[in-house]
Amino acid sequence: MYTLIDGKQVSQAVKDRVKDETAQIKENGGEITLAVIIVGDDPASRVYVNNKKKACEYVGFKSVEYALSADTTQEELIDLIKELNARDDINGILCQLPLPKHIDKWAVIAAIDVKKDVDAFSAYNVGKIMIGDYDFLPCTPAGVMEMLSYYNIEVQGKKCLMIGRSNIVGKPMAMLLMHKNGTVTIAHSYTKNLSELSKEADIVVVAVKIPKFLTADMVKDGAVVIDVGIHRMENGKLCGDVDFENVKDKCSFITPVPGGVGPMTIATLMQNTLKAYKIQHQLD
């Protein structure tokens, strides 16, 4: 019998923790502020930004939104970031991805002050993750690690398979599992005999952007399966990168979609923003 990993429950615990610390900071006259930049009118981006604003309100942060038109130039966007970098009242800066095609996202990410890079996408912060001496973690991988910890799922000594090698999820996720002494394999589109690797894995994390990619015949009995994907099917229902209905009964633990990894991403963003404030005010 599998245990469902409840991302809503874990994310609530994280947000409550942040809320309590924020209340103490406010009692001492402090205020934590997250600046969110959205360029263009991508509907999914708007939903994400609105959810981030709601989370800020819940934990007691001030959120400041900068909604820019789709024809904003890269120079204009970077000028705004430089302005926010210089403001002492702004503790975290988040630029919602994806950006319009004429803007180089890596140039934009590089422009954000590393102490305000609450997405932890900059080369500097990613490098700190590599050596295990980090201030911020990318929100989705950090959220996955939080869930594993919450459910007392041991990583040390386990065979871990990361399917997907993106800079935002796959690579940092693999590093975090390795920091917890997991034996980590990274699989991608050029990997041969993927199903053989996945059938040996104790923990499988899937982030390939392909609906129901991981099937029951790819999972060993008792495995822990973490689904990072989210897709809207033709019938309007959501699904992930895992064929949940057929895979679940082979698992010891599995995340659902929706309600699994998704809520954790925003909760971890709140955690990173709190950490940014504490670093900037030498409280941490």
Please give the positions annotated as active site.
52, 96, 119
Q: How many helices (H) and strands (E) does the chain have?
A: 10, 11
Instruction: Provide CB contacts within 8 A for 38, sequence distance 6+.
Output: 45, 46, 49, 65, 66, 67, 68, 96
Q: Cα–Cα distances in Å, from 213 out to 101, 129, 161, 216, 219?
A: 28, 28, 14, 10, 12
Pairing verdict, β 251-254 and 223-227: parallel
Compute CA distances 188 → 163, 202, 255, whole Å: 6, 18, 21
Q: Are 173 and 207 in contact (CB under 8 A)?
A: yes
Token pair of 88 as six digits: 């002492």
Of 276, 264, 234, residue with least CA distance to 51? 264
Instruction: Name residue 23's amino acid.
Output: A
SS3 (DSSP) at 284: coil
